[in-house]
Structure 1
Amino acid sequence: MTGQPHPSPKPVKDASTVMVLRDTDRGPEVFAVRRVRGMAFAGGMTVFPGGGVDAADDDPDVAWTGPAPEWWAERLDCDVDRARRLVCAAARETFEECGVLLADHLDGAPVADVGRYHARREDLEAHRLAFSEFLAEADLSLAAGRLRPFDHWITPEVEPKRYDTRFFLAALPEGQEADDLTSEVDLTMWARPVDLLADFRAGRSMLLPPTWVQLTHLAGFPDVASAMAAEPRISPIEPEVVERDGRLRVLFDGSDDYWADHDAGRPSSDR
């Protein structure tokens, strides 16, 4: 015992991350980005579009089609208001970070011409506009049916920035394309999950444990339809951080395989 008080864990912020999928002749690909180095969270890491839930995501009057917030509350194991915020954040962040708009016209037709909304996307990123306000002025509704719940991770207590993150799947809407117009990333790519895992194993990229786990799961699907039809059993995962042989290790179910991949393509001094 050192006599020093144990620091209290940092507060946890709700967040949503979306894995956008598309089919190719070589199998399904997922859209991934490399975050700008030096960012406060996950700088330099290859991740999926996503981010924290904003206060503006809390609008009970947001235009909405597809499974109701009550359905999402059951799947996400939370109250209805929180579920609505998480789904709203998922759609908003996907639009902000890669230009994919998970919304429909009020007559139910999907949105194909996303470029016409580019200026409003910039307003969303700058927090000058709420997503619900954007949908209302554009006569659109959040297409909750284009999302699927997939996983749930909580940042370990020892981290200075902590997120309670829900992972979602979404198929790339027909006629839309993902882009690299956000300032938060320096590289965007469509890639098969197996190829992203191979890059990590070869030391060509860095993956956080939750991203590695999602890619491992996605690698098992032969096409987008089968991934979207999956109903994984979702339980919150909060890894443990321990010191082993003078190095900090993040432990979770399957972490031995993660660390084997992490260390495979890196010199011993970086392990």
Structure 2
Amino acid sequence: MTIDKTAIRNAATVIVLRDRDTTPSILMGQRGANAAFMPNKVVFPGGAVDAGDADIPLETSISEVCAQRLRHDTPQDLSHALSAAAIRELWEETGLILGRPGTWSSPPPPDWETYAATGHVPSADTLQFVFRAITPPGRPRRFDARFFLLDAAEIATDLDDFSAACEELSHLQWIPLKDARAFDLPFITEVVLAEIEGRVSDRTPPISVPFFKNNDEDSLFLRLKGQAPNPDHT
């Protein structure tokens, strides 16, 4: 029996929900045919946490309720880094900005330069942590992905302007929530969609967050109920 030694990377995914009170839709795009991870699949924008994300100054932090859920069942507090990664990945893959007008207090790192050039500073208080899943063993890439729900009304720029997006996702589009399952989705995306469908009319953070914990021994379904800061794990 072979043992999967693929490193698990922390990642952030953003589910942008538009027109939630009338005809809710979500922003998705298609991964390339040659992508090592989930080729051709229609997915939410997102990606791995970069080393510098933990040091990015946020104008506002994610709510303490969500931060406690993010700290649960993890050896270190990644709430800041994951929030920053979510904002950066949303910008890189869609060209949409979550942030407020402002000036950076110090020069941004290279992967934040184009974001900073728009005249915005990242703000995370409107992100809601709603789901977590670890990629099962045996896949070419493995991620410990945290999914964040964001109301599209919080986006600072034109919701239909994707001109600043990189080429990682193609066919960026707002898909009616009721029609999303007709697309070629990863299994975990279908599971997350069920969670989102139940939260369309609820604007408060979830009482507990579903967690698909796939490790080398077991596949577990847990609920993250929150954990206060631990000064020994920073």
TM-score past 0.5 threshold: yes
Deviations 1:170-189 (A, max 9, x none): 11226531426321122121
Task: Report which structure shows greater RCO (CA 8 Å, sep ≥6).
Answer: 2
- Using the TM superposition, name which of 8-17 and 159-168 deviates more: 8-17
Give, in angstroms, the shift of residue 162 of structure 1. 0.4
Structure with the largest fraction of helix: 1
Structure 2: any 5+ residue segments left out of the alignment? 222-234
Give, in angstroms, the shift of residue 157 of structure 1. 1.5
Quick one: which of 110, 135, 147 aligns to 1:129? 110
Deviations 1:96-133 (A, max 9, x none): 111111111249xxxxxxxxxxxxxxxx9xxx7143x6
CA contact (8 A) 1:102 1:143 kept: yes
Q: Percent identity?
A: 28
Please state if 1:193 is matched with 2:195: no
- Residues 6 and 232 of structure 1: CA distance in aligned 2, closer, same or farther (over 3 Å): same
Quick one: which of 100, 105, 109 aligns to 1:104? 100
3-state SS, counterpart of residue 97 of structure 2: coil
Distance 2:97 2:156 in 1: 11
Distance 1:75 1:134 in 2: 31
Q: Which amino acid aligns with 2:208?
A: R
Quick one: which of 60, 80, 98 aligns to 1:65? 60
For residue 206 of structure 2, what is the aligned residue in structure 1? 231
Alignment RMSD:
3.0
Instruction: Give 1:7-86 correspondences, 5 Å limit.
Output: 7-23=3-19, 26-59=22-55, 62-67=57-62, 72-76=66-70, 77=72, 78=74, 81-86=77-82
Distance 2:147 2:167 in 1: 22
CA contact (8 A) 2:25 2:174 kept: yes
TM-score norm. by structure 2 comes to 0.76
Structure 1: any 5+ residue segments left out of the alignment? 108-123, 200-204, 242-250, 254-271
- Residues 99 and 136 of structure 1: CA distance in aligned 2, closer, same or farther (over 3 Å): closer
For residue 183 of structure 1, what is the aligned residue in structure 2? 167
3-state SS, counterpart of residue 196 of structure 1: helix
Count residues in correspondence.
Answer: 209
For residue 227 of structure 2, what is the aligned residue in structure 1? none
